[in-house]
């Protein structure tokens, strides 16, 4: 017997109980999403959301984040999907993946948005986050059911090309687990008296060169076991060290630092930078190119005195500008740190999602050409 039209009708999902927008009258915390402008990243296979919640206790209560939920809607307020974290599990429940989920008194904590990607097929207009907090002593619960997030799509104007030549890998991108992503800005602002205002690396990528031997650095067979996890003896053995950095697009050089030492033997000290009021030295030697009124390329960790361009100079895409060194917080391997921002002050201005043009992604024996693409940790790439 064929199904009737009535039996084929699908009920509109709402889940008004589980996804209630109820908020308690008593306010025990404040919740702010940052940055102020939240972007959708239109990645290869997903829509990515890279933002944080700053949660501050407003009382002397000791609180636990008991539940975080998100409801995802289209432009007509139809429910598309939902996600949640809670304490249901053995050993390490999902809420534990937040890292810190307890708030002691008037403490402030950073929570990295745990629901960081969705299918590109979803026509997402906005998201509603729901938090449940529980008093550790009394077990009283407090609900914040209507934290609205409306991301926007950033439309990149500048056509960016890879800033290095050869076979490259993204040793660290800006995915949820990347060190670029894991900046607790509440902590950073406190220790730098607010000078470090923005997570400039929110959308950044670290480029490293893969040498003709297929490795990141020159090693003898008996050295491999001693270089596990980048336990290297000489950073200059990295194929990336000393190679040319080229302009990713046309523009004007608006800032240059070229006189800082490459820290081959003494690592960058954030404590020392704070004491000496030189937080910006985290970038090492760097140059910044303005492409238009809104888009600025920042290139960090350059070799001392290797920069060949000056402030005010016009550069063309593909022009050699500097060499890669080991200055600033290059930390554990030779690489070029790249980020796109909306202005030239990387401690205060806003990072932007970025795509690179005419890129070949290499996956095993397969090569695929992309007209434009966002790069991720673990990608192997070269220019088309």
pTM for the model stands at 0.94
Is the pLDDT at 7 greater than 60, yes or no? no
- Write down the pLDDT at residue 9: 59
One fold for 5-153 and 168-383 = no
- Write down the pLDDT at residue 4: 47
Name the CATH topology of 5-153.
Immunoglobulin-like (2.60.40)
Q: State the average pLDDT over residues 32-37.
A: 96
Q: What is the pLDDT of residues 309-350, one digit of tens each?
A: 999 999 999 999 999 999 999 988 899 999 999 999 999 999
| Domain made up of 168-383: CATH architecture | Distorted Sandwich (2.70)
Q: Which helix (H) or strand (E) holds 360?
A: strand 356-363
Q: How far from 252 is each of 157, 288, 339, CA to CA, in Å?
A: 16, 8, 16
Q: Are 207 and 163 in contact (CB under 8 A)?
A: yes
Mean pLDDT of the chain: 94
Q: Say how far residue 355 (Cα) sits from the centre of its chain.
A: 14
* Domain residue extents for the chain: 5-153, 168-383
Joined together, the tokens standing for residue 242 give 């000393």
Q: 129 forms bridges with which residues in the sheet?
A: 70, 147
């Amino acid at each position: 017997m064929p199904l009737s039209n009535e039996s084929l009708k699908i009920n509109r999902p709402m889940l008004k109980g589980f996804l209630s927008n109820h908020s308690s009258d008593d306010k025990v915390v404040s919740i702010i999403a940052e940055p102020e402008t939240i972007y959708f990243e239109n990645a290869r296979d997903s829509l990515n959301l890279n933002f944080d919640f700053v949660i501050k206790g407003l009382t002397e209560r000791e609180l636990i984040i008991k539940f975080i939920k998100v409801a995802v809607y289209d432009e007509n307020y139809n429910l598309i999907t939902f996600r949640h974290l809670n304490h249901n599990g053995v050993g390490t429940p999902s809420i534990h993946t937040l890292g810190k989920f307890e708030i002691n008194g008037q403490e402030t904590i950073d929570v990295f948005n745990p629901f960081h990607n969705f299918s590109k097929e979803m026509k997402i207009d906005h998201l509603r986050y729901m938090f449940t907090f529980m008093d550790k002593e009394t077990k009283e619960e407090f609900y914040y059911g209507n934290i609205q997030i409306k991301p926007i799509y950033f439309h990149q104007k500048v056509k960016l090309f890879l800033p290095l030549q050869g076979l490259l890998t993204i040793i660290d991108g800006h995915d949820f687990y990347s060190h670029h992503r894991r900046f607790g800005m509440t902590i950073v602002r406190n220790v730098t008296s607010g000078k470090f205002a923005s997570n400039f690396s929110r959308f950044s990528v670290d480029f490293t060169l893969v040498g003709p031997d297929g490795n990141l650095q020159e090693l003898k067979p008996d050295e491999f076991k001693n270089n596990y996890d980048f336990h290297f003896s000489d950073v200059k053995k990295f194929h990336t060290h000393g190679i040319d950095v080229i302009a990713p697009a046309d523009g004007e050089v608006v800032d240059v630092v070229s006189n800082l030492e490459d820290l081959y033997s003494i690592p960058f000290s954030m404590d020392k930078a704070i004491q000496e009021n030189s937080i910006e030295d985290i970038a090492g030697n760097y140059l910044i190119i303005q492409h238009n009124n809104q888009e600025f390329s920042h290139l960090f960790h350059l070799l001392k005195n290797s920069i060949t361009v000056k402030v005010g100079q016009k550069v063309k895409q593909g022009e050699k500008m500097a060499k890669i060194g080991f200055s600033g917080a290059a930390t554990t391997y030779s690489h070029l740190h790249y980020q796109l921002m909306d202005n030239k002050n990387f401690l205060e201005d806003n990072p932007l999602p970025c795509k690179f043009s005419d890129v070949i992604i290499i996956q095993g024996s397969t090569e695929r050409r992309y007209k434009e693409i966002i790069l991720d940790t673990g990608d192997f790439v070269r220019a088309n």
